[in-house]
A = this chain, B = another copy of it.
Amino acid sequence: MITYVSPDDMQAAANRARSEGRRIAVVPTMGALHRGHLALVREARSQGDVVITTIFVNPTQFGPAEDFDRYPRSLQHDSKLAEEAGTDILFAPAAEAIYPPQYQTYVTVRDVSARLEGALRPDHFRGVVTVVAKLVNLTKPHAAVFGQKDVQQVAVIRRMLRDLNFDIRLIVVPTVREPDGLALSSRNVYLSSSQRKEAPVLFASLRRAESMIRSGVRSRQAIHDAVQETIAGGSSAVIDYVSIADAETFDELEEFRSGASVVVSLAARFGSTRLIDNICITV
């Protein structure tokens, strides 16, 4: 595995791989790698001849009151894990190399960015799609691999790549979970042991929504209430939102037509630790 910190070096390496006719698959991450990320790297391994894992804690996607400074950073450990999972090139640039002085260009996706996470975290998705556009231009992938856990992020990135005509296949890998159902997240390390015991209630609430929809419940309110009750009954978490939405537009759904792709998603806070999870259902 080769590690690049310079954007120019990364782009030159991508150009060499392309000129040799090799297929490139990229896995953009913010580091603090866990088994969820490693599943992305393994998927990339099956998609490309050259697997690039990027590690960049992207300042522009954090709000001023968010956890940019305390976001876990562990480059040495990440580097080992990324290599073991099959990474050929690790790209780990400094913030100043990605956003040099005079930097002033941003990509925005309007509607799908405005909902849920975007409504609660202004400019979050602007930061996400801007850095993805940059990383894609630096790594020149044929395929980019993202995790289903950040389901709205995937929808926003898909919209951006399509709208700007980026010639890249977007691959989405199912969420990896702990045995008790908790979705893997770099933020899980912040949970106290009692919070950790409660946190699986999030996935349990989503499973309940899924079984309601599969058993024919078509009342949005009933599903919404069941998710909320499940979380409230099993934890002290404060719910930011529970959403039952169209999987592409993230418009909230009032009715579920047969064949529709529905995402039930939620965000909840355990103390100061904010977790998200979701489940996708084809009605």
The interface size bin for chain A is: 20 to 34
Residue of B nearest to A130 (CB): B164
- The residue from B110, B134, B138, B166 contacting A137, defined by CB atoms under 8 A apart: B166
- Asked if B11 and A133 make an inter-chain contact with CB atoms under 8 angstroms apart, the answer reads no
Residue A194 CB within 8 A of the other chain: no
- Asked if B7 and A105 make an inter-chain contact with CB atoms under 8 angstroms apart, the answer reads no
Residue A71 CB within 8 A of the other chain: no
Residues of B contacting A133 in the complex (Cβ-Cβ under 8 angstroms): 164
- The residue from B105, B110, B134 contacting A105, defined by CB atoms under 8 A apart: B110
Residue A258 CB within 8 A of the other chain: no
Alpha-carbon separation in the docked complex, A140 to B164 (Å): 13
Residue A74 CB within 8 A of the other chain: no
Alpha-carbon separation in the docked complex, A103 to B163 (Å): 6
Residue of B nearest to A168 (CB): B137
- Asked if B111 and A165 make an inter-chain contact with CB atoms under 8 angstroms apart, the answer reads no
Residue of B nearest to A109 (CB): B105
Which residues 144-192 of A have a CB within 8 angstroms of B?
Answer: 159-160, 163-167
Closest 9 CB pairs of A and B: A105-B163, A104-B110, A137-B165, A134-B165, A105-B109, A138-B165, A105-B160, A104-B111, A107-B107
Which positions in A face B, CB cutoff 8 Å? 7, 11, 15, 18-19, 21, 102-112, 129-130, 133-134, 137-138, 140, 159-160, 163-167, 249
